[in-house]
Amino acid sequence: MKNIESCWTEVKGRIKKTLPDHSYRMWIDPVELLDFDQDHLELSSPNDYFIKRLKDNYLLTFKEEFSKLGVDDIRIDFKVSSKKETGSGKNNKTSDTVSAIPLVANRSKQLELPGLQLKFNNGRMFKKGFTFDDFVVGDNSNFAYSASLSLAQGNINGSSILYLLSKTGLGKSHLSQAVGYHIIKNSQSKRVYYVTAEDFTNEMIFSLKNKTIEQFKEKFRRKCDVLILEDVHFLSGKDATQSELAVTLDYLLEADKKIIFSGCELPDEIPKLNDQLRSRLTLGLVTEIGKPDYSTRVRILKKKSKSFGCKIPNHVTEYIAQELSDDVRQLESGLFGVAAKGQLMGYNIDIELAKSVLANITNVKKRISIESIKKLVCKEFSLSEEDIVSPSRKKRIVKPRQMAIFLSKKYTDQPIKKIGTSFNRYHATAIYSINAVEKELKQKGVLFEQMNYLSKKIEAGKL
């Protein structure tokens, strides 16, 4: 029989050749040989969840690879081990250690973990399924995925900051949450705060009004191990929030905490951002997620259909991937529509059914443009196209203009800078318009009803 230690090294090498790089780094690379004898092997694992995944997905693979090397009928067990404990046999002894910081539940931490159920006590909920395991990696996202996984497991070449850049619906929120989810799963004592830039702003304003700003500072500066801040472009023009966040980031960086930003624009392209904050946003690695190519879209659809619990024929999946190419959300919408119509109406899931469902999505998408939205808003508010792009500050023109800019961002994939130019407005003014509409929408007043009406017209293709 070969030496078990050399066999283990060879087994890992063989498995590495058969798995995608990200899967190997996620599940196999961290596993170490702890102890062994002729018919028994003990391997390390960081936690119970990790052990479950290894047993479910890789235990048989381990045994098959050992068998190929002449090691048959070996029993493999896993043991939770926070450190790499290498053993060269039963005679090896390891000293017991006690953590300097007791690993007890801390009320400040974001998630409690009874078994595999997640309970949130702070910030936003992580969306179910937004894990590394559920992310479909393609050429468009491989770098962003690898960087996110590296940060979750340690750091990125010494850096603890990551900026995820992409348009809406391409996966930056998925990866942001996957980092937090992975960290909490593997270290329950870590305090992970997951908030949007708007959440941070609102909480700061609330703290100022209620004279609890010191508690706010304490929470984000000293009680946070990992800060995940989404939609940083929202901070444009918000001077007080920018100053507070910049100081908070200094505290976190000094303490070597992990920070993940996400946004639709590069830090250098976000207008009305002070130099202090901009410099901190650019300290780490910036990774962009692009549109998925055809083969990646097919794999996304297959994974989604499995999670939906429905069987979609391959030729239908390929047709959907061919027709819908903008983003992952659009793919999900098309897939769900096909599956739902087939189930509810009792139809066979075939190309004809897919065509009938996707027709609404693709035809409407082809007709939606900045110009078509501009014309719709002008018609509904009895304005001329000259009015809506004019320098006029009259209220009857300003509000419809802001609404048209907001709708252009929502329903087209054009960058905000181009949308602003289309309305003869600076980039910063376009962002201000979008933020103004978002703020008023929350009041659910007249503008809320008007936007619902316009959105329904756009989505129905009545442009």
Is position 172 annotated in a ligand binding site?
yes
Q: Residues 77-97: what's their mean pLDDT? A: 49
CA–CA gap between residue 306 and residue 309 (Å, rounded):
5
Asked if pLDDT for residue 345 goes beyond 50, the answer is yes
Report the relative pairing of strands 119-120 and 33-36 from DSSP bridges: unpaired
Band of the pLDDT at 84, cuts 50, 70, 90?
very low
What pLDDT is stored for residue 90 in this prediction?
A: 38
What pLDDT is stored for residue 110 in this prediction?
A: 37
Overall size of the chain counted in residues: 463
CATH of 294-367, one of 3.30.930.10, 3.40.920.10, 1.10.10.10, 1.10.8.60: 1.10.8.60
User: What's at 391, amino acid-wise?
Assistant: P
Asked if pLDDT for residue 256 goes beyond 60, the answer is yes
Give the contacts of 178 (CB within 8 A, at least 6 positions apart): 130, 131, 132, 135, 148, 149, 152
CA–CA gap between residue 253 and residue 220 (Å, rounded):
12
CATH of 121-288, one of 3.40.50.300, 3.40.980.10, 3.10.20.310, 3.40.50.970: 3.40.50.300
Q: What is the DSSP string of 219-247?
A: HHHHS-SEEEEE-GGGGTT-HHHHHHHHH
User: What's at 189, amino acid-wise?
Assistant: S
What pLDDT is stored for residue 39 in this prediction?
A: 78
pLDDT tens per residue, range 269-301: 888 899 999 999 988 899 999 999 999 999 999
What pLDDT is stored for residue 366 in this prediction?
A: 59
pTM: 0.62
CATH 3.30.460.80 fits 4-80, yes or no: no
Residue 110 has phi, psi (to 5 degrees) of: -80, -35
CA–CA gap between residue 82 and residue 94 (Å, rounded):
13
Is 101 within 8 Å of 172 (Cβ atoms)? Answer: no
A 10 A CB-CB count for 193 gives 22
Is position 180 annotated in a ligand binding site?
no
Buried residues in 415-445 as b, exposed as e (16+ CB within 10 A):
bbbebbebbebebbbbbbbbbbbeebeeeee
Fold of 370-459: Chromosomal Replication Initiator Protein Dnaa; Chain: A; (1.10.1750)
pLDDT tens per residue, range 48-83: 767 877 887 888 888 888 888 888 888 899 888 754
CA–CA gap between residue 149 and residue 135 (Å, rounded):
11
What pLDDT is stored for residue 247 in this prediction?
A: 95
Is 76 within 8 Å of 41 (Cβ atoms)? Answer: yes
- Round the average pLDDT of the chain to a whole number and report it: 84
CA–CA gap between residue 447 and residue 430 (Å, rounded):
18
The ranges assigned to domains in the chain are 4-80, 121-288, 294-367, 370-459
C-alpha separations of 111 from 118, 261, 353, 451 in Å: 6, 20, 43, 36
Is position 395 annotated in a ligand binding site?
no
Asked if pLDDT for residue 363 goes beyond 90, the answer is no
